[in-house]
Structure 1
């Protein structure tokens, strides 16, 4: 077995393709959606500065069968986020442990105090991570799926979308936010951190128009289509609630539901359910090849779970956000 640093710009074309294939398949298995391999390769080649990455092979000259990626967490200084995937035929041969050891060593040398990662609850990945010294579960998450190819789901969403709360009007866009709405949309996005556990997964930021444009560029860097459904307060003309989804560059078959937020003064009026129903209808109409939408929700976020259930979301699997101190992992591996 060999484990080596992986530098996309210096990798052979076959190795880059194999690395992206293992990463994309592993990401789909753990999150329900995947990054298209070609788009992932383009992103890695353009990344500056690059994240730390490794590639593992069963033997010298073999194809890449295990991958790892370590990124710093800007919202939590001293914390790194690790993604580690092994192709199914190569599992239980020590590849995961070897990749983890390299990542822990690199994190220790970089002065990183803690590593975080997400794993499927109850699966082999959880069993593997439980062997890491000092591991603790930070959040229990639920991967949910909304099947747009089942007739009753769009019908239910159309029914809920028709129940428009008074004093609000819908606004929808694909791509960048309209200039006159960008600032108020940004203020809404700043309240994503109000959700239970959100502060453990993202950093506070100033959501001015420039930040909105930078975020939009990040969300579409791989060719994804960005879709937003929002509620505008009729009296003020400002966005007070919004929900965000992305459609793969290929057009489907699975879209990702991201953040949903409502300004504090406009909560408990059904806005989240209304705009998410609107979003599902638009996805179904504009991208008929999209058969499902996936979303990951903190199990403690009971209001959002209730909203999703009303819109036809059903649980697929549990995921755990786990964390371990680097020093303990370095000593125990």
Structure 2
């Protein structure tokens, strides 16, 4: 039996056929995991035109010269500490259970250790085949159990829920909504609110430390929209002080019917006033109005974050899947 072959994948020097195949496997894998992903054509164009220092990629074939059937990408987890890497690894469904994933992972572990990383983190769907595959790596452990939730923003019953909440704004606050960059007069207070995303249970395991000022906020906004996505923000502004005290952000990709709900945060002194429900309801209504082709919004919430899960239920989110954040140490001498 022919053994799989694994090679480093360099998009800018890959053949058109290999670039298309790698992009197809990677995009399909992201969507299967519950995340939005560009079409293979859009992803291939982006990969071929971008330089991404520090990002490593590999491809696996079932035999030498065969089409690419598996894809892996490793990114530094944190800019301030590049030693943990975030791994995404996928094999085309028709090629699974043939040893391609094991061969690909073996090469990734070797190259990642050689590159100076000390551990890898990856999101996998709970249950087989992803969970047992990931936890078979020596020393692997589950850091966090995450609930993937979905809000059907084209569902009339969900829109009714959101309208009812939007029509009852908490006293003492007004709504601010924008697309793209935050208005200058709200940017500093919006940045302070976004720093409190790390108050959520398990957030420190998924996100780097934050102490954003306005330049830090602008960098985050640019990062979320560098693929052409539209950034939507709904915020609660305290009337007495004129500053943002709660906010929720989502991105609408330039492809597909699914928006991604990102950060939602409320300043500690303004919690338990239904601000999160209000702004998330307003966000869903604007998403539906501005982007009628969007059918759903997805959100990932830690299983320990019952407060946010309750908010999501109130605005029509439904369970879709469970994912695990898994970490494995790297042994440079292995």
TM-score (norm 2): 0.95
Is the aligned partner of 1:306 residue 2:310? yes
Residues in 1 aligned to 2:217 and 2:236: alpha-carbon distance in whole angstroms: 17
Q: Contact conserved, 1:43 with 1:221, CA < 8 A, in 2? A: no
Partner of 2:142: 137
Q: 1:77 to 1:55 in 2, by over 3 A?
A: closer
Matching of residue 118 in structure 1 with residue 123 in structure 2: yes
Q: How does 1:243-322 map to 2 (within 5 A)?
A: 243-250=248-255, 252-322=256-326
Q: How does 1:1-333 map to 2 (within 5 A)?
A: 1-44=4-47, 45-74=49-78, 78-250=83-255, 252-327=256-331, 331=334
Task: Summarize the Cα distance change of 1:196–1:123 in structure 2 as closer, same or farther, 3 Å threshold.
Answer: same
RMSD (Å) for aligned C-alpha atoms: 1.5
8 Å contact kept, 2:31–2:37? yes
Structure 2 CA distance for partners of 1:55 and 1:77, relative to 1, 3 Å: closer
Deviates more, 1:286-295 or 1:13-22: 13-22
Maintained 8 Å contact 1:137/1:322: yes
Give the secondary-structure state (helix, strand or coil) at the position aligned to 1:33.
coil
Q: For the structure 1 residues 42 and 221, does the alpha-carbon distance in structure 2 shift closer, same or farther, using more than 3 Å as the test?
A: farther
- Give yes or no for contact 1:27–1:35 (8 Å, CA) kept in 2: no
**CA deviation vs aligned residue, 1:293-330 (integer Å, no higher than 9, x gap):** 111100000000000011111111110001111129x8
Distance 1:321 1:223 in 2: 27
Q: 1:47-100, CA deviations, whole angstroms, 9 ceiling, x for partnerless residues?
A: 331501001111222221100111122165531111100010010111111110
Change (3 A) 1:134 1:216: same
1:35 deviation in Å? 3.0
TM-score by length of 1: 0.95
How many residue pairs get aligned? The number is: 329
Secondary structure of the structure 2 residue equivalent to 1:141: strand
Deviation at 1:135, TM superposition (A): 1.3
Q: Using the alignment, how far apart are the partners of 2:36 and 2:263 within structure 1?
A: 16
Where does the alignment leave 5 or more consecutive residues of structure 2 unmatched? none
1-structure distance, mates of 2:246, 2:37: 27
Between stretches 285-294 and 14-23, larger displacement belongs to 14-23
Tell me which moved more, 37-46 or 235-244.
Answer: 37-46
Structure 2 residue matching 1:22: 3-state secondary structure: helix
Deviation digits for residues 237-269 of structure 1, max 9, x if unmatched? 11111101011113x411111110011111111
* C-alpha distance in structure 2 between counterparts of 1:320 and 1:43, whole Å: 28
Q: CA deviation at 1:34?
A: 2.1
